[in-house]
Structure 1
Amino acid sequence: MKFICNTKELSNACNNVMRAVSAKVTIPTIEGILIECGSNTLSLTGYDFEFGINTIMSVDVIEPGAIVINAKVLCDIIRKLDNDDITIETNSNSVSLSCGAAQYNITGIDAEDYPELPSVNNGKKIELSQSLLYSMVSQTLFAVADSESSKPVFTGLKFEIRNDEITMIGVDGYRLAIRKESINYNGEDLDFVVPKKTIRELIKLFNLEDDSKVSISISKRHIVFEVDNYSIISRLLDGEFIEYNAAIPKETTTTVLINTQDAIDCIERTLPVIENNQKNPIRCLFDNDQMRVSTVSSLGRVINYTHANTSGARVEIGFNSKFMLDALNASDVDQVKIQLVGPVSPTVIKPIEGDNFIFLVLPMRLKNENQG
């Protein structure tokens, strides 16, 4: 195998593909990037048995072939080279790289040993714009559980696709995020859960200025996202997902209309004296056209106010400040509606009009202490 390409373009592609290379499994083959040359194209693949990234780029191919090169070594070498053309050539499992005055000889691995990526040839297909997918992910991924969650299916973002509508749902046991959008789709109903890591890596490849389409192919066990000249393949998560609609309170005793940024600022002013969100919840009092936020810790105490249009019963309720801020920051509207059913029921945050997003935050128990 022998090819010549632009060093900067190759470095960018290798760094993107490297994010799918295993950092946990010490198998030399999957610690590497699979490099395959066809006729004037170069394919780069990283894969850790659960998640893979592939890209194809145009290069000057002198001799087709394939080899696996340790991803860290390859990326480190290319990153330090000048922005000239690089020539990569293999002889058996020996790899030579030359760029300007720099020359390297490293050991490669037989490409035959590289695992085959799963196929989604007969999968269901949909297309979404990058901007829409990015917006929906930004408003739901924050609520997806991290890997230490006791229920693995909650470490993924759920997609529900029905006639002309897509819904994404994130949940971690303490909060819930739901985002809906109308789309042009009239195929069969689809439900699947994509790992959080996959979604995070996918949106890193987005070019929102170009806003091209993302093609999505879904099979029973795997999903492929195609964006620009990249393909991301991932396993889907199995398991029983929460009946999220049942978690939304059916009644409201207190409704608060508030400027989103004012609410964020009011809560953020309590942060300097919060040592631990679990030990020091914020105390929110909604009453008399006012949102009053306070907290106390060994570092000190703080009380802050902001205007709010409150109707219904007076409510004093405790929250993890991070969970409330995550929900408010994910709201893409100037004003939000906060719906409460007393101090022990989930709190709903949604737009003033409509329900294209709904956030639920579970309250925290407050100590019976005077916080002023």
Structure 2
Amino acid sequence: MKIICKQQQLNEAVLNIQRAVSAKSSVPALEGILLSAEESEITLCGYDLELGMKTKIEAKVEEKGRIVLSARLFGDIVRRLPADDVHLSVDDKNITKIQSGPADFSIAGIPAEEYPELPSITGETSIKIANCTLKSMIRQTIFAVAESDAKPIHTGTLFELDKNKIRLVSVDGYRLALREETAKCEEELNFVVPGKTLQEVMKLLSDDDEELEILIGRRHILFQIGSYCVISRLLEGEFLDYRAAIPNTSAMEILVSTRSFIESVERVSLIITDRLKSPVRCLFEDNEIKVSCSTSIGRASDQLPAKMEGEPVEMGFNNRYLLDALRNTEGDEMKIQLNGALSPMKILPREGNSYLFLVLPVRLKSEA
């Protein structure tokens, strides 16, 4: 194998592909990036047996071939190469020579035959959606994905497809995030994509209207994002019946400035630390939200105006869960619906129902 390519293109590709590589594996090849040189391009591939990523970059290929190189070492080398051009060659003992300007490295490679094949998608369904739309949908739901493996299915986001509609739902036992958009899909389908996969997909998505294609198989999903192909296993199991968790009625409806509410909760959260946890109290009455908190460091309180209809209510919230939901809203104002001190807070856009967040309250102790 013998190639010449551009350092900037190679570096960008390696940085992205590295994220799909196993940090530690009993199979040494999985800690590496597979490089395949053919015709006028090289393919780079990373795979950790759950998530795989591939991309192609232009190269002058003088000799075809394949080699696996340590992702960490190869990435460090490429990032620091001094010249625009990178010359890479592999001998019959898998010793890989990397040259750029005066810099010269020789590193040991692993035979490509030891690298496992990426899964192929079978019986696929295809959907198309704009980059910016999917990016926004993931951003507004990923924060509610479960971090613990108590229920592995909830470490992913539920995708629901029905006629020209796509819905993403994440739950973690303390909150729920739902986002809905129109999309080109021919059939009804439900599947759960791991949160880790969606984090990587979000990093690759641009903010433009260009469409990407998603292929859904029986056990795997493939995202074709520009020159990148991301393939992941799907999660199996019974996802929460989220519709049953969403309150249908509300005793109080509030219209409030998004920015003001976020800033108010952030201010009183200053006396909360990882060691000193305490709920943020929110009293909703007389067109005002009174926010307060008390820990052994001290006390903090704040208030902000809001338009309200309904019976006054006082609720407590985990400050991080509340802020995550508030920060992921869109628009200058949000609508909040409450149904008593122990029922979840429902957060919606001022108009329409493109997103819906639920945050479970925490039980408040009566203050002395």
Give TM-score scaled by structure 2 length.
0.97
- 3-state SS, counterpart of residue 269 of structure 1: helix
The aligned counterpart of 2:68 is 68
Q: C-alpha separation between the residues in 2 aligned to 1:61 and 1:53?
A: 22
Q: C-alpha separation between the residues in 2 aligned to 1:264 and 1:304?
A: 12
Q: How does 1:164-243 map to 2 (within 5 A)?
A: 164-185=164-185, 187-208=186-207, 210-243=208-241
Q: How does 1:118-197 map to 2 (within 5 A)?
A: 118-120=119-121, 122-146=123-147, 148-185=148-185, 187-197=186-196
For the 8 Å contact 2:276–2:295, the answer to whether it is kept is: no
For the 8 Å contact 1:180–1:356, the answer to whether it is kept is: yes
- 3-state SS, counterpart of residue 22 of structure 1: coil
2:177 maps to a residue whose letter is A
The aligned counterpart of 1:363 is 361
Q: 1:85 to 1:267 in 2, by over 3 A?
A: same
Q: 1:322 to 1:277 in 2, by over 3 A?
A: farther
1:199 maps to a residue whose letter is L
Deviant stretches of 4+, over 4 Å: none
Give 1:83 deviation, angstroms. Answer: 3.3
Length, aligned pairs only: 367
- The answer to whether residue 108 in structure 2 is matched with residue 110 in structure 1 is no
Q: 1:77 to 1:37 in 2, by over 3 A?
A: same
The aligned counterpart of 2:57 is 57
For the 8 Å contact 1:278–1:320, the answer to whether it is kept is: no
Q: How does 1:77-116 map to 2 (within 5 A)?
A: 77-92=77-92, 93-116=94-117
- 3-state SS, counterpart of residue 306 of structure 1: strand
For the 8 Å contact 1:212–1:228, the answer to whether it is kept is: no
Q: 1:278 to 1:341 in 2, by over 3 A?
A: farther
Q: C-alpha separation between the residues in 1 aligned to 2:204 and 2:248?
A: 40
Give 1:121 deviation, angstroms. Answer: 5.0
For the 8 Å contact 2:82–2:103, the answer to whether it is kept is: no
Q: C-alpha separation between the residues in 2 aligned to 1:247 and 1:121?
A: 34
Q: C-alpha separation between the residues in 1 aligned to 2:162 and 2:275?
A: 38
The aligned counterpart of 1:337 is 335
- 3-state SS, counterpart of residue 81 of structure 2: coil
Q: 1:359 to 1:277 in 2, by over 3 A?
A: farther
Q: C-alpha separation between the residues in 2 aligned to 1:282 and 1:331?
A: 19
Q: 1:117 to 1:69 in 2, by over 3 A?
A: same
Equivalent pairs: percent with the same residue? 43
For the 8 Å contact 2:139–2:202, the answer to whether it is kept is: no
Query: CA offsets, 1:119-154, max 9 Å, x none?
Result: 0154111111110001111111111111x2310010
1:317 paired residue among 300, 315, 318: 315
Give 1:324 deviation, angstroms. Answer: 1.2
The aligned counterpart of 1:15 is 15
Q: Which structure 1 segments of 5+ residues have no match?
A: none
For the 8 Å contact 1:8–1:83, the answer to whether it is kept is: no
2:245 maps to a residue whose letter is A
1:193 maps to a residue whose letter is V
Q: Which structure 2 segments of 5+ residues have no match?
A: none
Give TM-score scaled by structure 1 length.
0.96
1:271 maps to a residue whose letter is S
Q: C-alpha separation between the residues in 2 aligned to 1:83 and 1:121?
A: 43
Q: C-alpha separation between the residues in 1 aligned to 2:264 and 2:103?
A: 57
Give 1:188 deviation, angstroms. Answer: 1.5
1:230 maps to a residue whose letter is Y
Give 1:328 deviation, angstroms. Answer: 1.1
1:292 paired residue among 281, 290, 293: 290
- 3-state SS, counterpart of residue 304 of structure 1: strand
Give 1:363 deviation, angstroms. Answer: 0.4
Query: CA offsets, 1:189-226, max 9 Å, x none?
Result: 11111111111111111222x44222101101101101
Give 1:346 deviation, angstroms. Answer: 1.0
1:321 maps to a residue whose letter is N
- 3-state SS, counterpart of residue 134 of structure 1: helix
- 3-state SS, counterpart of residue 20 of structure 2: coil
